[in-house]
Amino acid sequence: MLEVTGLCKRYLPGADEPAPTGVPGHTATTPRWLARDLCLRVDAGQTVALLGASGSGKSTLLAMLAGLESPDAGQVRLDGQDITRWPPERRRFALMFQDFALFPHLSVQDNVAFALIEQRMPKATARQQAVAMLARFGLADRALSRVTQLSGGEQQRVALARALMSGPRLLLLDEPFSALDTDLRLHLRGEFARHIAEAGMGCVLVTHDEAEARAMGQRGYRLVNGQLQLLWG
């Protein structure tokens, strides 16, 4: 279980930066709260969806959960243990972006096996496990292809397979379907929800699409002025 308590993060923009869209009362140089005494709980096997205007701090919150940014105050706890100051590699969370972040010079199987190889698993064993994971996504026959040869939907499936491959404690999804067309988004969100449930891990989904959030999230919040407003669940 992930538990966030009293998380605070204030942002001081530069004078040449544009004002955030959809955040009332803020100009380009107005200091604003990205997180203000923010509390959140994510249970194992549960997906929590976060909605909010552009610039409201959704991606920053994910970065703080992942250990890529430090909060000004507050705690992040995993299964009762304070991990607030832990580096990303010690947390063992998987963060998945809208641009897939795949390695174009590697094959599909080596993209999926990458984390295992980095953990010094023998390459042959890692590749074997990667192909088994790809089979769950219907992509075993594309294992030796370059990722640049795949469609957008296939690349996103590979990205999720890679995220699940390392057995992460928590899955963090940042607008995972925004670069895809509407029909493919509708299909993939159901497929992703099924795979995440099968893996039994907690998941935090950031999206601007409320229909997508409701389809995947058992609980949903809107981030406004650094605080979470419960929408459902």
Spatial distance between the Cα atoms of 60 and 75, rounded to a whole number of angstroms = 15
How many whole angstroms from its chain centre is CA 138?
Answer: 22
Contacts of 62 (CB under 8 A, 6+ apart): 95, 172, 174, 204, 206
**In terms of domains, do 86 and 199 share one?**
yes
- Assign residue 219 the CATH number of its domain: 3.40.50.300
- Give the confidence band of 228 by pLDDT, cuts at 50, 70, 90: very high
What mean pLDDT, rounded, does the chain reach?
Answer: 89
**In terms of domains, do 117 and 87 share one?**
no
How big is the chain by its Cα radius of gyration, in Å? 18
**In terms of domains, do 144 and 175 share one?**
no
Kindly provide the b/e burial profile for residues 199-218, where b requires at least 16 CB atoms within 10 angstroms of the residue's own CB: bebbbbbbbebeebbebbbb
**Average pLDDT, stretch 84-103?**
89
* The dihedral sign for the CA sequence 200, 206, 207, 208: positive
- Give the confidence band of 217 by pLDDT, cuts at 50, 70, 90: very high
Instruction: Please determine, for residue 141, whether its predicted confidence score (pLDDT) is greater than 90.
Output: yes
- Which residue, of 143, 165, 187, is where some domain finishes? 165
- Give the confidence band of 187 by pLDDT, cuts at 50, 70, 90: confident
**In terms of domains, do 140 and 173 share one?**
no
Name which residue leads in pLDDT, 170 or 18: 170
Would you call 64 exposed, middle or buried from its count of C-beta atoms within 10 A (0-12, 13-18, 19+)? buried
Give, for 156, the enclosing helix (H) or strand (E).
helix 152-165
Contacts of 141 (CB under 8 A, 6+ apart): none
- Give the confidence band of 18 by pLDDT, cuts at 50, 70, 90: low
Q: What is the pLDDT of residue 15?
A: 47
**In terms of domains, do 58 and 132 share one?**
no
Maximum mean pLDDT: which of 27-31, 49-53, 161-165: 49-53
Q: What is the pLDDT of residue 136?
A: 87
Are the C-beta atoms of residues 187 and 194 closer than 8 Å to each other? no
- Which residue, of 142, 165, 188, is where some domain finishes? 165
Give how many domains the chain has, as a whole number: 2
Are the C-beta atoms of residues 202 and 210 closer than 8 Å to each other? no
Q: pLDDT of 144-169, one tens digit each?
A: 999 999 998 899 889 989 988 888 99
Give, for 174, the enclosing helix (H) or strand (E).
strand 170-174
**In terms of domains, do 179 and 228 share one?**
yes
Instruction: Please determine, for residue 34, whether its predicted confidence score (pLDDT) is greater than 80.
Output: yes
Of 208, 125, 110, the residue nearest 161 (C-alpha):
110
**In terms of domains, do 72 and 172 share one?**
yes
**In terms of domains, do 174 and 199 share one?**
yes
**Domain range enclosing 15:** 2-92+168-232
**In terms of domains, do 86 and 172 share one?**
yes
Domain annotation covers residue 211 = yes
Domain annotation covers residue 77 = yes
**In terms of domains, do 157 and 220 share one?**
no
In 10 A of CB 66, how many CB atoms? 18
Percent of the chain with pLDDT over 70: 93
**In terms of domains, do 44 and 66 share one?**
yes
- Which residue, of 127, 146, 165, is where some domain finishes? 165
